[in-house]
Structure 1
Amino acid sequence: MPRTAEKVESLAREDGALLDALEAVLDVVEDDGVVEWSDVSDEMTSGQWGRLIEKGLLVDADGSGFVVDDPEGVRDALSDDDVSDAAADGDGESSWSSYDKLAGVGALGMMAGYSLPAVRDAIGGSLDVLFGPLEAMLPFYVVVMVLAMLTGLYSTLLQANLMDMDKMSEYQEQMQEIQERRKDAKERGDEEALDRIQQEQMEAMGDQMGMFKEQIRPMVWIMLLTIPVFLWMYWMLLSPNQSIHPQTITLPLIGSVNWTDGVLGPLQAWILWYFLCSMGFTQIIRKSLNIQTTPT
């Protein structure tokens, strides 16, 4: 029973509709003893049928059809509250809240500061109250290092808290499993299985969209907090009323350059220095806090 319950709960997390498919199959088996695809084709997709077989809940009955493995355990699992909760999570966990959408709109609005001086001056002047004293005490390259460490810290924490790594791992595992079954079916020359797997791939596109949403959701919050920091640095470098010390920075393999000089094509020196610091500090923070920001 515990193993059966785990299988059913795993299906529920993938797609709550799989529970309805499983219940339809179970009803036919209880009435007729066995079930075939033609018995339930009106109530489920071929992809769902294949998933039940792949999961081991439907097993071949010596060529006479299929039977449900541990039907009593399946019935108990279908009535379990944990499975119902898993189905609800699987159907709606990737949806964005109204706050996420507002964060996305706010981030897009702040991006206008890169081309609109009025927006840049407003945001830069406001943040100067916070960062100005820091710049007055430290060289500008150290200020950039401090800001890179700060943005790396909250970016890592946001990714860890807003991304469901378990769910993203399930998405990746499901797609890899489909690809492996497609490869095996192609090697066997099983056209019927290939057609079923092709349809299952099409249905899995919704899961890929869910994975994309999981990845993008923390990014809008990171942008909302990071763009103002960038705009403050940009404002400091462009404002005629500000004096950056020192006026140049010495970069490895490049030498001494002004902060606004292009060092890698149009990439200016201050942006390159920020990215180098950010990548280094982010890796240290992830290792120190033992935070995983990519699915396994």
Structure 2
Amino acid sequence: MPDTQLASLLQTAAMREAASAVLEESDARTGDIQWDDVSDAVSSSQWGRLISAGVLTSTDTGFVVADPDELAAELAAHTDAESTEHTDAPAIESASWTIYDKAAAVGAIGLFAGYWNSSIQTTIASVDNQLLAPVMNLLPFHIVVLVLAVTTGVYSTYLQSRLMDHETLQAYKDRMAALKERREAAKERGDDEALERIQSEQMDAAGDQLGLFKLQFRPMVWIMLLTIPVFLWLRWEVRGGHLGASEHGMVVPLAGHVAWQHALLGPMATWIVWYFVCSMASRQFLQKTFNIQAST
């Protein structure tokens, strides 16, 4: 089989273990081998993958390793990687927060208090109103909400793309996927010793959860720092009775004309639903258009 195909097959530790067991059994026997000969170390699905990939070829009485020397050489090349994967892997480290990130987090928490404290909300909304009042005089409220939602969607997507450490996030996903695959293979072949070892590695990997949370939350604090004031201003406009006399609501498909403060989707008011629809649509458009990777 081609070297690239064999290398791809042996990317995971579970398949390297299976291939190594098959090669060892083949070397120990003078005749062909069957799956029953290695079923304690190789699952049925792994056996099938070795056959479909051409590592094993069929004969009249069983199977043989197509090219033992090539397989042995490829397994030897993966020895270091396999050793690393079977020992306690080091915690995945992400970039630490800067003093600016921490300041942004404190600021976001302070702004968040505006949802419960009317004084804070009024102060923030009054400052925003100095910039947004001229826009309200030019455009109807539903268009203002659309513009603000698209604007927040644009900078949210940009900040998430720039501040998210996608390489570290992918490394964590790959590590957990590899552990899951090895666990399933060990369960299928009934290898209790391997299951205990993998469970220990999974417990060690759980220590990465805090780092993963910090990794994902870093762009969020910057997004909240810019988004919360906008949302508080919209809330202040609608609930505080600051909309113009002509701003009664909007026409919604199936629901008809709905007032801005009335519940439209569960307990969510019309203006909140309209804002989130516009924001999510703009973010999806930007991510698809510019192939921006979103976080998970």
Same fold (TM over 0.5): yes
Rg larger in 1 or in 2? Answer: 2
Query: Within 5 Å, which residues of 2 pair with 1:152-231?
Result: 152-231=153-232
- What amino acid maps onto 2:124 in structure 1? I
TM-score by length of 2: 0.67
Report the residue type matching 1:119 in the other structure.
I
CA positional deviation for 1:55: 5.6
Aligned residues: 215
1:270 and 1:189, CA in 2 relative to 1: closer, same or farther beyond 3 A?
same
What SS does structure 1 have at the residue aligned with 2:236? helix
1:56 aligns to 2:57 (yes or no):
no
Q: 2: CA distance between counterparts of 1:269 and 1:200? A: 48
* Aligned residue in 2 for 1:149: 150
- 1:254-269 counterparts in 2 under 5 A? 254-269=255-270
SS at match of 2:251: strand
Which residue matches 1:136?
Answer: 137
1:289 and 2:290 are equivalent in the alignment: yes
Work out the CA distance in 2 between the residues paired with 1:133 and 1:217: 33
Deviation at 1:58, TM superposition (A): 6.7
RMSD: 2.3
Q: Which amino acid aligns with 2:79?
A: G
After TM superposition, the score normalised by the length of structure 1 is: 0.67
Deviates more, 1:108-117 or 1:157-166: 108-117
* Matched residue type, 1:133: P
Maintained 8 Å contact 1:159/1:218: yes
Q: Are residues 158 and 54 of structure 1, via their aligned partners in 2, closer, same or farther at CA, if it must alter by over 3 Å?
A: farther
Structure 1 pair 111/280, CA: closer, same or farther in 2 (3 Å)? same
Within 5 Å, give how 1:239-278 maps onto structure 2.
239-243=240-244, 245-278=246-279
Q: In the TM superposition, what is the alpha-carbon distance from 1:225 to its structure 2 partner?
A: 0.8
After superposition, the Cα gap between the structure-2 partners of 1:58 and 1:259, relative to the gap in structure 1 and judged at 3 Å, is closer
- 2:45 aligns with none
> Does structure 1 retain, via aligned residues, the 8 Å contact 2:92–2:208?
no
The 3 A distance-change label for structure 1 pair 217 and 244 is farther
Deviations 1:230-258 (A, max 9, x none): 01111111334542642211112211111
Question: Aligned with 1:291: secondary structure?
Answer: coil
Structure 1, residues 201-253: CA drift from partner, whole Å, max 9, x if none? Answer: 11111223322221111111111110100011111113345426422111122
Secondary structure class of the residue paired with 1:57: helix
Tell me the alpha carbon deviations over residues 158-185 of structure 1, each in whole angstroms, 9 at most, x when there is no partner.
1101111122111111101001111111
Deviates further, 133-142 or 186-195:
186-195
Q: CA distance change for structure 1 residues 138 and 244 in 2, over 3 Å: closer, same or farther?
A: farther
- CA 1:175/1:241 → structure 2, altered by over 3 Å: closer, same or farther? closer
Q: What do the CA deviations read for 1:133-188 (whole angstroms, capped 9, x no partner)?
A: 11110000000000010000010011101111122111111101001111111222
Q: Distance in 2 between matches of 1:187 and 1:54?
A: 27
Which portions of structure 1, spanning 4 or more consecutive aligned residues, are displaced by more than 4 angstroms?
none
Instruction: Kindly indicate whether the alpha-carbon contact (under 8 Å) linking 1:250 and 1:256 is maintained by their aligned counterparts in 2.
Output: yes
| Secondary structure of 1:250 counterpart | strand
